[in-house]
Structure 1
Amino acid sequence: MKPSLIIFDCDGVLVDSEPLAALAYERVYERHGMAGVGPDIIAQCIGMKQADIIAKIHGLTGHLLSDDRQDDIWLETRQLFTERLEPTDGIAAFLDDLTAARCVASSSSMERIHHSLAVTRLAHHFGDAIFSSSMVARGKPAPDIFLFAAERMGAEPSGCVVIEDSPFGVQGAVAAGMVAIGFTGGGHTYPGHAERLIEHGAAVACADWNAVSREIERVRAYA
């Protein structure tokens, strides 16, 4: 039996956004006199929603971005995305061939998700089937966004496959009772990335969309 719903994370899965997002955070913090928030810090926050990222950066560095400056993150990110954001390699062809129902479940804001999908020309693959952690009480690694997406799409959690690039996302998918496939095809992939995803509950980790396609075909073997 094939999965009834494929749930895609957005950043680092559909779009190769994580390096650009990290650069946006670095620029904003530096602009406000808080240097040292580099890729190594942001790497520890991948998969979180913005409020949780800001709290995590505060805990790691002591730098706290005040509420009145937090809108700067999206303004900087939007500019970078408009100029430079690309889809992950092979995702357009994968979506063209996908017959199962699909949706997006992301920690990003709805505005950022829609902008990302628009500039990469992927929006038509999802229509209104887009869900943000802003719609639920808790962000990843809590299962809330995945359970919410499944309910809205009319799918049972046990019939869902989630494709995620972050340990937090994988944890949330597993906590929701779904099969998680790790994705390591984004520009932020690092040595040991696949192993970390599997350690956090991914059934398998794939470096490209051809591999993801093969795993979906045999997902019930390890569900």
Structure 2
Amino acid sequence: MSSVSPFDLVIFDCDGVLVDSEPLSCLAFEQVYANHGMKLPEGTVAKGIGMKQADIMKMIEDMTGHRLPEEATSQFWPETKILFAEALQPTVGIASFLRELPQKRCVASSSQPERIAFSLEKTGISHYFGDAVYSSSMVKRGKPAPDLFLFAADKMGVDPARCVVIEDSPFGVEGAIAAGMTAFGYTGGGHTYAGHAEKLTGKGAHQVFSHWDDIAREILVAA
């Protein structure tokens, strides 16, 4: 193991990386559409993992022709929150990883601030980040644009070249690379699928891991 880390800041996606939320999120999305008489083909919502809500809705409309009424957009979080309150868990091993992490760390997520805060609190890891939590609602363009990652690095006072982003989605990896950062793919969540790792490397992930112990060997060194 190297004695000096090449990274000064570790940027974590939230959904599917810190918390194992993606299957629950997809279920909530499908339920809202079903409540309005629109049954989505299996796997449709999962294609938008890593994107912000408005972009997922646009993707679904383009793919299926289903368009929710404007007032329905406010139903996603209440539906999701019910499922999160019942079943949301941290990804396996993340708490010990964060406890040992010597570098600065922050969250950069496509989700809304309220949802991020609830997720981190529910899973008992919010204290590892404090106020260093950034949402796509804070920037003009969401992932795969680099805006959120650059915003986070600026807020944390770290050169993008000294940042590593841990992402579970191809969109997130693409955004991290566009920001001039190192990207590690994570495939330890409950939504991992055949070919997931290959999609992440195809977007530029430098390495892909399914266990936090393996990621630790790369970045848990003297900062």
Deviation of the 1:216 alpha carbon: 2.2
Which residue in 2 is equivalent to 1:101? 104
Report the counterpart of residue 64 of structure 2 in structure 1: 61
C-alpha distance in 1 between matches for 2:220 and 2:145: 27
Residue 217 of structure 1 deviates from its aligned partner by: 5.1
Q: Secondary structure at the match of 1:70?
A: helix
Partner SS for 2:51: coil
- Find the aligned partners of 1:138 and 1:20 in 2 and give their Cα distance: 25
Distance in 2 between residues matched to 1:140 and 1:132, nearest whole Å = 11
Structure 1 distance, partners of 2:200, 2:40, is 27
Show CA shifts across 1:140-198 (max 9, x none). Answer: 00000000000000000000000000000000000000000000000000011111100
Moved over 3 A (4+): none
1:111-152 Cα deviation digits (max 9, x unpaired): 000000010011000000000000000000000000000000
Within a 5 Å distance, the mapping from 1:140-219 to structure 2 comes to 140-216=143-219
The CA distance in 2 between the partners of 1:168 and 1:153, in whole Å, is 22
Given candidates 85, 88, 93, the residue that maps to 1:85 is 88
Identity of aligned residues (%): 59
Structure 1 CA distance for aligned equivalents of residues 68 and 216 of structure 2: 41
Secondary structure of the 2:91 match is coil
Instruction: Mark the runs of 5 or more structure 2 residues left unpaired by the alignment.
Output: none
Partner amino acid, structure 2, of 1:97: E
Give 5+ residue unaligned stretches, structure 1.
219-223
> Would the aligned equivalents of 2:102 and 2:220 in 1 still touch at CA under 8 Å?
no
The RMSD of aligned alpha carbons is 1.0
Contact between 1:8 and 1:104, CA under 8 Å: does it hold in 2?
yes
Paired positions, count: 217
Q: Is the Cα contact below 8 Å between 1:104 and 1:126 reproduced in 2? A: yes
User: How does 1:24-39 map onto structure 2 within 5 Å?
Assistant: 24-38=28-42
* SS of alignment partner, residue 44 of structure 2: helix
Partner of 1:9: 13
Whether the 8 Å contact between 2:100 and 2:220 is mirrored in structure 1 is no
